[in-house]
Structures are given as C-alpha cells and as structure tokens.
Amino acid sequence: MAKGSSNFAPRHAEIVRELTHYMIDFVEQPRPELGNLPICPFARKARLEKRIRFEVIELARDRILDLAQSLTENSDLQVMIFVHPSKDGLSYTQIRQLVMALNEELSAMNLIALGLHPEDPFNIDGLYTRREPYPNIQLIRLEEGERAHEIIKNSGYYDRWTESNLRDCLYSREESLALIEDRIVREFSRYITDFVEQPHPKLANLPICPFARKARTENRVRFKVMELTHERLLDLVPSFAATPQLHVLVCIDPRKDMSCAEVHRLVKTMNRALPALNLMALGGHPEDPFNIDGLYTRRDPFPNVQIIRLDIGERAYLSIRNSGYYDRWTESNFRDVVPASPPALSEVSANNLRAQANSRS
C-alpha cells in the first residue's frame, strides 16, 4: 500500500473485495452488445495473474502522477486502479476533468488514464460499461492498450460502438472512423455471403447474384464507406475505370436514415454519364421495394450505390439468360433494371415478356 493511504487501511480490503466481485460478476462476463466478448476481454487473465494493483486514495492529479511511476518501473503490473474511498465523494464531471488533466502528463510516461464512476453515462447500445461501485481512475500502458485493440478489432467487439464511444476512449477521429468503416464492411460482407450468394428457388435455384462469390473470392470487389453524393461518386470513377481487375465498387453510406428515394435518384443521375465510360450504377437500400415474386433482393443493410462494368454485366446476363433465372420476373421488374442495364438484359427482358405473353394467350 502506498504512503498516504493508511487512513483508509480499515476499508481498503473491503473496497478491493467489492471491486473484485464487480469485475468477476460484470466486467469479465461476455455480452452480446460486445460481440459476445466480456466488457474487458483481458480482465480475467490480468486478475488471475495478479497483474492488477489497487490503491485506495483521495483522487488527485499530483498523487496519481507520483504513484504512476511504479507502473512504468514494474513490468509485472498491467493495470493500476486508484479508487476513491467514498462512493459519492467525487462527481462524474470531476473524474472526467481529472482524467483529462492526467492524460496531458501521462503520454510522456507511455501511460493512459481511464475514468469510471457510478453515474458514468458512457454506454454501448444501452450497456453501461463504466458504472463501477466507486469512482476510480485506471492507468494502463499505451502499448498494452494498442496490443489489446489489435487483438479484438475484427472480433465484433466494436460493432455497436458509435464514433462518440470511440472518441471517448481517446481514439483519434481517423482511428474512430477506420473502426466504424471496418465494422460496416464486415456487416455488408456477411450479408453478401449469407444472402446474396445463396441459391433461391424463385431464381431457378441460382444465387441472388450468381457471380458474387467468384468476384469476392477473386478480390474483384472493393468497398468504400462514404457519404453518397453525385460529386463524391464521380470522383471515384476514374480510378475504378483504370483498374480493370476490379469488377464492382460498392459505395456504402453509413447513414441508415438516407431514404430509398434518394438512392434511386442518385443512381438515375449517375447512369446519365456512366455508360459512356463502360460503367453503370445500381442501388440498394434497407427499404428497397424491388422484389422477385416476394423475394426482396436489394434490401441491403446500408444505403449503397454499386458501380459495375457494362461489359462484365453483359457477359454475366448472357451466361444465365436461358437458365430460368428470369422466369418469375415481371414486366415491372425488367423495367426497373433495363434502363440502367447492358443490351443483353434488354434482349432477355424482351424475350421473357414475349414468352409470358404467349403463355397467357
């Protein structure tokens, strides 16, 4: 126990026991909001290896900075937790201000501070991960935090985090946006493998897109998370057009409140200019009404615009025109696709509609 903490010696063991039980019962437990990982995926190992050190002290900047040196000097320690002896002794705002002041000094020591409080508003999709029994400040080594982040960044742990959540954990805006973009691309990729690439009886037992899996496994698809505007999409066209090994550019808007009508207008505008470049645009949206006999094939998890090569699309359509893929398509379905499609699909649609008319007569 550090010098100056003797005033709290009678309650030190009691407070540490309470916090330890909180860690075991809550912090170390897996949660669906965090990809079924624990609140802190590394807490149990650190606790069992006795790499956590508690100090029950009056929380003050100079006191914590004085004691922080022992963390830098002791490689066996992973975390130092400075606990205020009274549950209502400091407000959440005071803890937050203290953390900000500490982090101005701690970076030079290769350390970072995190504050926790019984009334902390920080939450992940309603899960309050920092409402600990006592106000406390935790110090960890910067490299430990970075290593932990690298281990779990693709695990689903951050899938429900907002940019505000990430910034509150001292990630830069660039780091926060990168994590959010990774999450969106993973979600969209899962949708492609779990739905778009799966065969369906309404499409003659062919996948929603019969060519999606091949394009994905051959790395011919590129994702771009961005705010969808006509200008920003046009900015991407030259580099995509100059990269023939890419077949599809999927531009995803992270704003789920972008309307389906906005996506459709954007696609229509893009397709006025793209055919001259051997390109075309298709749109997807969580509420897209397009369906084949009740099968909604464009209800993607995020608003998006996909840019594809016309010649690639034409070869694809020619390869399946006699497969039965289009047998349940209606005149409305074809009209919704043909204006933005290569000549081959126009031929398929015309033949299909003639066959439907002949069968009715």
Q: Which residue has the higher pLDDT, 314 or 293?
A: 293
pLDDT category at 255 given cuts 50, 70, 90 is confident
Residue 2: strand, helix, or coil: coil
- What mean pLDDT do residues 167-176 have? 69
Q: Is the pLDDT of residue 86 over 70?
A: yes
Of 1-5, 65-69, 110-114, 304-308, the poorest mean pLDDT is in 1-5
pLDDT category at 338 given cuts 50, 70, 90 is low
- What mean pLDDT do residues 23-37 have? 96
- What mean pLDDT do residues 46-72 have? 93
Q: Is the pLDDT of residue 355 over 60?
A: no
Sole residue written with tokens 């037992």: 205
Q: Is the pLDDT of residue 88 over 60?
A: yes
- What mean pLDDT do residues 308-332 have? 90
Q: Is the pLDDT of residue 170 over 90?
A: no
Q: Which of 108, 110, 107, 63 is nearest to 84 (CA)?
A: 63
Q: 326: which residues sit within 8 A by CB, 6+ positions away?
A: 320, 348, 349, 352
Dihedral, 346, 352, 353, 359 alpha carbons, nearest 10: 170
The whole model's pTM is what?
A: 0.63
- What mean pLDDT do residues 158-178 have? 77
Report residue 10 CA to chain centroid gap: 46
Would you state the pLDDT for residue 9?
Answer: 57
Give pLDDT tens digits for 175-213: 667 778 888 998 999 999 999 999 999 999 999 999 999
The neighbouring-strand residues paired with 127 are: 124
Of 5-19, 252-266, 270-284, 297-311, the poorest mean pLDDT is in 5-19
Would you state the pLDDT for residue 168?
Answer: 81
Would you state the pLDDT for residue 171?
Answer: 62
Give pLDDT tens digits for 42-57: 999 999 999 999 999 9
pLDDT category at 254 given cuts 50, 70, 90 is confident
Of 74-88, 114-128, 140-154, the poorest mean pLDDT is in 140-154
Would you state the pLDDT for residue 126?
Answer: 95
Would you state the pLDDT for residue 8?
Answer: 53
Q: Is the pLDDT of residue 345 over 80?
A: no
Asked whether the beta carbons of 310 and 256 are under 8 A apart, the reply is no
DSSP codes of every residue in 57-125: ----HHHHHHHHHHHHH-TT--EEEEE-SSTTSS-HHHHHHHHHHHHHHHGGGTEEEEEE-TT----BT
